[in-house]
Amino acid sequence: MLSPFVYVGPDVEIGPGSVVESNVTIKGSTTIGARVHVGPGTVIGCTGFGYERRDGRYQPLEHGGRVIIGDDVDIGANCTIARAKTGRETRIGRGTKIDCLVHIGHNVVIGCDCILAGQVGIAGSAMIGDRVVLAGQVGVSDHVTIGDDAVIYAKSAVFRSVPAGARYSGIPARPHTEMKRLWASLWRRFGRNA
C-alpha cells in the first residue's frame, strides 16, 4: 500500500503486503521485499556521500548502484538509506528493524534480524552481521565490520571492527567490561561528574 505523496522512481520493485507511508521518496533501482513497513518522510536510494579531490576541489563520485531491502523489514520515520556506488548494493537483511532518524550510508550491508535504534549513523561500506543491536546514537565508521550477535551500547563510536558476540561501548568503542572498569576508575578519582 502506498500512502499519499509517495514518490516511486524508475526500476523500483515493492513486494506484496508492504506499506509505504506518506512523503516517502524511493529513488530508482531499489528493491523492497514483502511485508516491509516504511515510515513517513524516509528517503531510500538517495545519492551517497562520496567525493574525491580533483583539481583542488571535491567532485562527487558516481552512485548508480542499487538498494536491496529484504522481507519483513521495518524502517522508521525520516530515515535515509543511500544507494551504493555503481555496480554495488546497499543491502538490508530480512527481519531487520530500524528506528526513526537513522542514516545508512552507501554500500552498507546489514544482516538479518538486526535492531538499529534512533539516530544511529552507519558510514559507507560498513558491514553489519546478523542479529546485531546498535543502540541509540551509535556511530559506525566506514569500512568497519561488526560481527554476528554483537551489541553496541548507546552513544558509542565504532572506529574498528567488532568481533561476533561482543558487547562494546564508549568513544572509541571497546569491550563493555573494560569500559565499565574505566568509568568506575574515573568515578573513584573524580566523582560521579567525571
Q: Per-residue pLDDT tens for 64-109? A: 999 999 999 999 999 999 999 988 999 999 999 999 999 999 999 9
**2 domain residue, yes or no:** no
**Residue of 37, 106, 143, 176 with catalytic role:** 106
Confidence at residue 7, expressed as pLDDT on a 0 to 100 scale: 98
Residue 12 phi/psi, 5° resolution? Answer: -110, 135
| The three cell numbers locating residue 87 | 555496480
Q: Is residue 132 part of a domain?
A: yes
Catalytic residue at 106?
yes
**Residue 184 belongs to a domain:** yes
Tens-place pLDDT, residues 148-164: 999 999 999 999 999 99
- The residue segments making up the domain with residue 166 are 7-190
- Strand 174-175 to 167-169 pairing: antiparallel
| Number of separate domains in the chain | 1
CA nearest to 17, candidates 76, 74, 89: 74
pTM for this prediction: 0.93
Residue 172 lies in a domain: yes
**Does residue 96 form part of some domain?**
yes
The answer to whether residue 193 scores a pLDDT higher than 90 is no
121 pLDDT band (50/70/90 cuts)?
very high
Listed in sequence order, the residues at least 6 apart from 83 whose beta carbon sits closer than 8 Å to its beta carbon are 27, 29, 30, 45, 46, 47, 48, 63, 64, 65, 66, 67, 90, 106
pLDDT at 116: 98
- Indicate whether 147 pLDDT > 90: yes
User: CATH code at 106?
Assistant: 2.160.10.10
- Is 1 domain-assigned? no
